Chain A
Amino acid sequence: MAQKVLILLGTKKGAFILESDAQRRSWKLRGPFCETWPINHVVGDEVSGTIYGGGGNEWFGPAVWKSEDFGESWTHSSDGLAYAAGEEPVKSVWSLAGGSDGLYAGVEPAGLFRSADGGLSWQHVAGLREHPSRPDWHPGGGGLILHSLIPHPDDAKQIWVGISAAGVFYTADGGATWEPRNRGTRADFLPEDQRYPEYGQCVHCVVVAPAKPNRLYQQNHCGMYRSEDGGRKWESIETGLPSSFGFPAAAHPRDAETVFLLPLNGDIAGRYVPDAKAAVWRSRDGGKNWQDLREGLPQENTFFGVLRQAMATDRLDPAGVYFGTNTGMLYASADEGDRWSCIAQHLPPVYSVETLVVDS
């Protein structure tokens, strides 16, 4: 059966959807959706085709938006998406992920919610905020946000989350109890003898290799890392890359050894692509060696950055790779990063990129 490919964008001014066929040669853009609210993350359910968008509006607060007709119409809810009275209220939804036992939402200030009814109502997964380290969680530049949210593909009890700047946390009991999983990741912003704390690292993005669920990749404020054991320990993979700083990471849909990063020039150097030349960096061996992919990407006077959730792959073969910039441009490759083209520009700043492949 013919397939259609959707690119789901969260932006500063609403959600957008681009659509193509499996060839991915031309794209049609629709949007903005969600009443132009800031939308931090848009995800799609491969089985039902339902699309969810998470964000928050300065006037009306946080909500998860939902479309069951590929973006033609949307509803919204934040029923239950709240902390107890007296606590700092939930400001915005930052991450969404479907697990085998429901839909999860990560929010600011950092916390986790689960919906068992497709986003109509939410229950607080309170165990995470009950972790004894919580008084020490400090906001990064983007706020105290739960931005990386990874339900284990095969086991509903296991979840990883990334919180800026508290680090990576993991549960094996469905969210009742959590443990930090940051061993081996640096915190260069702490005194020299404190640079490998149990928690408090500034994680920027964590992704799982779908083909190997204990293989995680991480882009941190301070380095790039791989874990072979679900985050118990992390190994640096930044040798061969132009900097240790960046935001997004994207895993290949089938090959656990292939990963894509987009390093920026440094945290206090402007946070744009190194030497003002855009490149996606690909490793085919789990981060041991890196290749810069530039064909079709601008190679002069390029001052964009790419945010933490703004790069993704699709599940076709060869895999498509996509990234959106904080200057409102969207680049796509239909051949695993070898060649790129700009498929949308003049968009609002792109906060997130995800893909959805469905039968047409």
Chain B
Amino acid sequence: MSRQVLPKVNVTLPIVLRRLFPGAPRQVSLAAATVKDAIDALDADWPGMRDRLCDSRPAIRRHINVFVSGERATLQTPLTEGAELVILTAISGG
């Protein structure tokens, strides 16, 4: 049985998220087939990070933007080798 090789991707975390998880770096390299898998991998290293980025619908939170190679993504967006995944906070607050 062949074992699936997951794409290696680079994730950029916003500083306001990193402040909630001391020690989290600006950029993380990980292996993931989808955005959901990538966020699960982040959560494995920094427990609770999934809850900060996703709600229980489940979906990416309304005021969190995830871009994959420049395109806005959903949890189901597939990742390819070398993809750049950027997490940003959207305009919100008051």
Contacts and interface: CB of A to CB of B under 8 A. Distances in A.
Interface string B62-83: 0110000000000000000000
Contacts of B55: 61, 82, 89
Contacts of A81: 51
B51 to A, nearest CB: 5
Contact of B20 (A76, A86, A90): A76
Among B51, B52, B63, B92, the most chain A Cβ lie within 10 Å of the Cβ of B51
A148 B56 CA distance: 25
Interface in B32-72: 47-48, 51-53, 55-58, 61, 63-64
B61 A59 contact: yes
Contacts, number: 48
Contacts of B61: 59-61
Given A35-B20, A76-B20, A60 B52 contact: yes
A89 B56 contact: yes
B51 A61 contact: yes
Looking at chain A's contact residues, the main secondary structure is loop
A140 to B, nearest CB: 19
Main secondary structure of the interface of B (DSSP, over half): loop
A268 interface: no
Most chain B beta-carbon contacts within 10 A, residue among A61, A63, A84: A61
A93 to B, nearest CB: 13
Interface of A: 35, 58-61, 63, 76-79, 81-87, 89-90
Interface of B: 16-17, 19-20, 47-48, 51-53, 55-58, 61, 63-64, 89-90, 92-93
Contact of A79 (B20, B48, B58, B93): B48
Given A79-B51, A89-B57, A58 B93 contact: yes
B52 A61 contact: yes
A61 B17 CA distance: 12
Given A58-B92, A59-B89, A76-B48, A85 B57 contact: yes
B48 A90 contact: no
A95 B29 CA distance: 39
Contacts of B90: 59
A11 to B, nearest CB: 13
Given A35-B19, A59-B90, A60-B20, A86 B52 contact: no
